[in-house]
Structures are given as C-alpha cells and as structure tokens.
Chain A
C-alpha cells in the first residue's frame, strides 16, 4: 500500500516535471531585464524549455499571478496588503523570493552642475517647494520634474522611500511609462530631474549622490544609499525544489546568475 502511494506520488512528480516546459513571467519593467536575461540563459542551457517574459508593471504582475495567467510575478516592491488578501481569498498563496537589489539614483541632464542633493531637497523638489535649480546651488533654470507612472513599482518605491505617507507629488510633474522613457526625457531636457533603476543609468545622464552617498552596487547592497530596495519574484505556493520554477528562480543565487544581474546593472543577492 505504502509503495503504491509512493509510486503514484513519484509518477505524479515526474509527470509535473516533464510536463512543465513552459514558464511565463509578468510584471515589473525593472525586474523584467533580469528575468529576460535569466530566461535567455536558462533556455540556452535547457533546450525545449520555453520561457516568456512580459513587462506590464508590478501592479499588473500581481494581477496576473492572482488570475493565474503567469507562473512568476516580477515585482519591484513588496505585495500590498490588499493584493495579498485578494490572492488568499482566491486560493493563491504568494511566496516572496528576493532575486536582486536595486537603488534608485536621481538623474539630471549631463550639463547640470548640481552634484548632490539631500533626501529632503529631493522631496521638496517633487512636492513643488523647490522649483528652480538655483535654490539647490545650480543654474538659474526651472526644474522639470519627471516621475514614473503611478502604476509602476519604481514609483511606489520612490514614493515610499522619498516622499513618505503624507507628501504629494506636485501637479506640474510629468509622468512617463518606463525607465527608458525617463532616461530619454532627462537626457534631452536641460532642467529635468528624474529617477530610474540603477541598471538604466548610463553616461547619457548624470546621477546625483543623495546625502553625500553615491548610488552604487555596494551602497545598494548594504542599503547605505537612502533610496535602495529589493527586487522580487512571487510564486503561487512554494515551488517544489526540482520544479522548473524553483530552478529558474534559484538562478539568482548561482555564480552565473549573480554575474548576469551585475551585468545588467543591478546588485546580486548574496551567493549561497
């Protein structure tokens, strides 16, 4: 009897492993590049496996996990209480996996002379108290505030880490739909200030230090940089250790996975 049960279980296990050759991910545009690089690497290592990665924002990722339209939801913030409650009530049990760390550098046009802002100054700029670069030691130039759309995890993180609960972004702020679009707007607009994931900042824009601390891999990992965060993948239930999902997420803790994460410009988690 015992053996029969075990045999059935083993058979089922084999079935589920051999049956799953498809994996779909959805969610944050910040975690997206990591997921894509992992997928590329994993599919090259394991021919026959098909992994699709969509980038529709953290909110939509959580929604997709709730509705069962993806296996892994990529989020650049933790699940909200309401999201968690909605999932539990639908029988979805979200399990959090930290796959990397990230910092949100404030970026400005390369010609801007300002090098450092305090966290309070950043908040005052975004709430509209400071409107001219002159007020923070820069040129006589109106500040063009650029923010990510309220649907993005990057926005949520920025709001939480910089603005706090009470402060509101002022009405003149512009909103764009992606990290790339923020960089595009900042690199072409002289008075602009924006924020983006560490991986999206290149030499076309200038990253400011905050409270005198530069946003780097190290300052993100030890969280000394004031605007840093964890990046997540969420699964429905804890995946079995030999399942495709577990192997895929486990990549983040391997040598190669950390290398991939660093290459894209994020900060890898500690190796196992």
Chain B
C-alpha cells in the first residue's frame, strides 16, 4: 500500500513531510530574498563610494553651485546644472509621453476593433525592443539636423531632442501597461454603465478610466523611471553642456543629465586616480537611486489610496 492511499501517517512520515515542506518554503524565501538583497547590496556599495565625496566636499556646493570642472586643478563639483538638466529632460518627456500614452491605450482598448488591436499592440511593444543606442543614433543623425534645418534651432542636440526621443521610448511601457489596466476594468463594468444609459464617452471618462486609474498611474510611473534612468540617448542627444538653459524652460539649449555625466566621466575618473571625481559620480548615482526610491514610494502610496477610495465607492 502506498503512503498516499493511507489516511493515517506514521510519526516518521509526518516528520519527513514537515522537513520537506520547511525546505521548500525556505528555498522559495531564499529566491525571493536574492532580489531584495541585490537592491540592498547595490545601495550599500553606491553609498560606500559616495560617502568619501561628501566628506571632502560641501553638500551645499554640490547641489546649489554651478561650476562643473571635475578634471581641472583644483576640481570644482557644482552639479546644480546637471540636476536641473535631468529634471528638465525627464519632466518634458513625461509631459509628452503620459497623455499620448494614455490616449493611445484608451484608443486601443475601447475604440478600435479587436483585429486592429491585435495588430497594433505588438507593433507598439516592438518600440520597446529597439536598443537605446539606436535611438541615440537617430537623435544625432535625423532629429538634430531636422531641428536645425526645419525649425532653425542653433544646435539640434538639446533638451527637446532628448525629451522627444525619451518620450517615444517610454511610450510602449505606458501604452501597454495602461491598456492592460483598462482591459482589466472588465466588460461587466462597461455594460453596467451602458445599461444605465451612459454614452460611450461618459462610460470611458466617468467609469472605465477611474476604475483603471491605479494601473494607469503605475504605467506612468514606469514610464518616468525609464526616462530618468535612460543614459545612452541623453548622452547622444542632449548636447551635454553643463549649463542651466536661459530662461530655464528654453528646451532648445543643450543640457547635461546625471546619467550622461556618470556614463561620460566614468572612464576618466576611475579608482586609480582615487579622486573626488570618482566619488562624485557615485554621489550622483545615489541621488538618482534616492529619486527613484521616492518616486516608487509616492507611487505605491497613491495607488493604495486610489484602491481604497474605489472600494469605498
């Protein structure tokens, strides 16, 4: 008679089963822990290499002054223009990508027929598969001359160029995730709304969009993260001039971002010179990490609040 056919188990069998169950559980826990641990380790190592910079230099000078001459003697590390550059490029790309992405998602999920959606969605998602260096090349060879020749801009490698390309790169994420959220809102909800006499537009704006809001918000957040962290494109398209545009909303001037600075300066500022230039890049990395972290936290909080409110409805 096999064990599984019996109802009563011997104490020894119970023990073995418990051991296996415990093993299985701890294995799964360990696997999950690896991901969490990786993040912690990264934070630890970045922070460790960032700390020496703050010991040598003033945090206020780093954040609020404007002279970025890391390889000059003596070196100056005023990164204000770089922080502002990151902010400008990210905000602009978000302002472009989020509305367009959400509208495209609405169109895909509620406007076009099933067949067209099946065709369009993979095409949009294919955008995400294009390597960022290809986008950068496009920015340099197509976008920059276009901006100069057609719009008469002085230099085509500027904040607008980088933002537009970043926006296009963030689109597939935003479209795809919001479309899933809109789909998840369900047919019942829509039909219920129609049954109450609501028009299609009313249903979309007052019922479906609010119901899918938390998903759409996550989508936007993922898009923002993509834009903040993207390196290659901004390195190639933004011009990398360490200046705050005048006036600050002038998108047609070149700017420099945190990611591009890290990528561009890393090779020169390596451990063998043991310099502040090396550590300042880690300080920038840490700033980026903190920013993403805060974004994530805020996102989590808003999504949770949204869900609570929806449940209350």
A interface, CB within 8 angstroms of B = 56-57, 59-60, 62-63, 66, 80, 82-83, 86-87, 142, 144, 149-151, 165, 168, 171-177, 181, 184-185, 188-192
User: Which of A82, A142, A188 has most chain B Cβ within 10 Å?
Assistant: A188
Closest to B260 in A: A175
Residues of A within 8 A of B243 (CB): 171-172
Q: Interface residues of B toward A: which range?
A: 35 or more
Q: Check: B192 CB closer than 8 A to any chain A CB.
A: no
Which of chain B's residues 68-89 have a Cβ closer than 8 Å to chain A?
A: 68-73, 81
Which of chain B's residues 15-47 have a Cβ closer than 8 Å to chain A?
A: none
A177 to B263, CA, bound (A): 10
A190 to B153, CA, bound (A): 10
Flag the segment in B111-119, B168-176, B219-227, B268-276 that touches A: B268-276
| A150–B264 CB distance below 8 A | yes
Contact with A along B250-265 (1 / 0, CB 8 A): 0001101000000011
CB distance from B233 to the nearest CB of A (A): 12
CB distance from A205 to the nearest CB of B (A): 14
A-B contact count (CB 8 A): 89
B interface, CB within 8 angstroms of A = 66, 68-73, 81, 140-141, 144-145, 148-149, 154-157, 235-236, 239-243, 253-254, 256, 264-268, 270, 272-274
Residues of A within 8 A of B241 (CB): 171-175
A98 to B88, CA, bound (A): 45
A142 to B272, CA, bound (A): 40
| A185–B265 CB distance below 8 A | no
| A181–B242 CB distance below 8 A | no
List 6 tightest A-B contacts by C-beta distance, closest first. Answer: A86-B272, A175-B240, A60-B267, A174-B239, A171-B243, A188-B145
Residue in B71, B145, B157, B274 whose beta carbon sits within 8 Å of that of A174 in the complex = B157
CB distance from A142 to the nearest CB of B (A): 6
| B267–A57 CB distance below 8 A | yes
| A63–B267 CB distance below 8 A | yes
| A184–B141 CB distance below 8 A | yes
CB distance from B83 to the nearest CB of A (A): 14
| A-B residue pairs in contact (CB < 8 Å), sample of 6 | A86-B272, A86-B273, A87-B272, A172-B243, A172-B254, A185-B140
CB distance from A97 to the nearest CB of B (A): 21
Residue in B73, B140, B253 whose beta carbon sits within 8 Å of that of A181 in the complex = B140
Residue in B66, B156, B272 whose beta carbon sits within 8 Å of that of A63 in the complex = B272
A9 to B148, CA, bound (A): 66
Residues of B within 8 A of A172 (CB): 241, 243, 253-254
Residue in A56, A87, A144, A175 whose beta carbon sits within 8 Å of that of B154 in the complex = A144
Known: A174-B240, A185-B144. A168 touches B69 (CB 8 A): yes
User: Which of A83, A177, A192 has most chain B Cβ within 10 Å?
Assistant: A177
Extra contacts besides A171-B66, A188-B149 (7): CB < 8 Å: A62-B272, A172-B254, A174-B157, A175-B241, A177-B235, A185-B140, A185-B144
